[in-house]
Amino acid sequence: MARAMGILLVAGLVLTGGALLSGQAGIQRSAYHDYRVTTVVDGLMNPWSIAFLPGGDMLVTEKPGRLRIVRNGTLLPNAVEGVPAVQSEGQGGLLEVVPHPQFATNRLLYLSYSKPGVGDRTANTAVIRGRFENDRLTNVEEIFESVAQGRGHYGCKLVFDGKGYLFITLGDRQVPPTGNLEAHPAQDLSNHHGVTVRIHDDGRVPADNPFVGREGALPTIWSYGHRNAQGMAIHPDTGDLWQNEHGPQGGDELNLVQPGKNYGWPVVGYGVNYTSGTAIHAGTHREGMEPPVHVWVPSIGISGMMIYTGDRFPQWKGNIFVGGMAGEQLARLTLDGQRVVNEETLVQRMGRIRDIRQGPDGLIYLAIDNRQGRTSPILRLEPAETTR
């Protein structure tokens, strides 16, 4: 009930912007830290995910199917060899890249992507891992493939928790909610439409997953009733699993994801049908379905997400950062326990923010995903000393 009541507080949250400080071009003001936005590297095509390696290299996935290396501030000209073929169409392509928690010793790298399906240009969400050495990917093996085909809403976010389990988001594959909302595939545990998956690092199913041994349910499922989660992070202090979920027209959500819980899509929610604006849901709340901790109405087109732990912006420690694509903004959310108590809007009108990562230097890195065939940059937020 407490979290449901938290939704009612959204309208009262304080939203402050990233306006330029007078007389100091390039410096932007925020509630606690003024900052500059600088370009780290440019020339990328639809960058989707950023990962930092122990040696200092930055890896970036390009949705058309390339894994790129940024070394010493320079984008290397050649893509990494050994990446599997992807179906780069619409929302599909090469998506998330995440190193294993023990990458420094095992060199294992994980990639999620849209794996070409059978006929009608459909594709599955799949996850592979391989050894990344000498700028090549070798010993590649598939450790997961979804039981759900479609043309969009791949999910594909990856995160390891502190125990070494791998979580994967899977979208509802754009199955339209019509007729009996409870009969939508995202409410059906026999497939991977609109779920969070939890597996071991080699693809095995953990014995304590919530639906292990339940007839008619896939044992890999951790939570269900999602639309298309595009951001995911583990809280470094509490171990809580947070996700942001891309809603329809309006109704982007931030969810605290717990094992075995139903997050309601499409039965409950805050969005409406595209173009027509007509109702989708039976309501915003229902017994047995988890309400979001925070919503964006209208939608900002949520994307990547991180929880800041660095020292360069000390007043932002523990804050959740969420990228906005359609909204071209960065949302900074302040938590009080498991409640969102404040939202600040940063980095406005600088492009569609696809991914957000904290670098080993404690700075904040953004992947900008331009459209219409234009190349895109990786940006960085740096502290700016100003006089108030």
Q: Which sequence positions are flagged as catalytic?
A: 153
Which of 343, 260, 258, 267 minimizes the C-alpha distance to 302?
A: 343
Whether residue 210 has a cis bond before it, omega within 30° of 0? no
CA distances from 208 to 80, 145, 181, 204, 290 (A): 36, 20, 29, 12, 21
How many Cα atoms are found within 13 Å in the side-chain-facing hemisphere of 260?
Answer: 8
The count of C-alpha atoms lying within 13 angstroms of the C-alpha of 139, restricted to the half-sphere facing its C-beta, is 9
Contacts of 370 (CB under 8 A, 6+ apart): 46, 351, 352, 376
In Å, the largest CA–CA distance within the chain is: 66
* Sheet hosting strand 123-133, strand order edge to edge: 94-99, 108-116, 123-133, 136-145
Q: Cα-Cα-Cα-Cα dihedral of 130, 156, 306, 281, to 10°?
A: -170
Q: Could you tell me where the DSSP H helices lie in the chain?
A: 2-7, 103-106
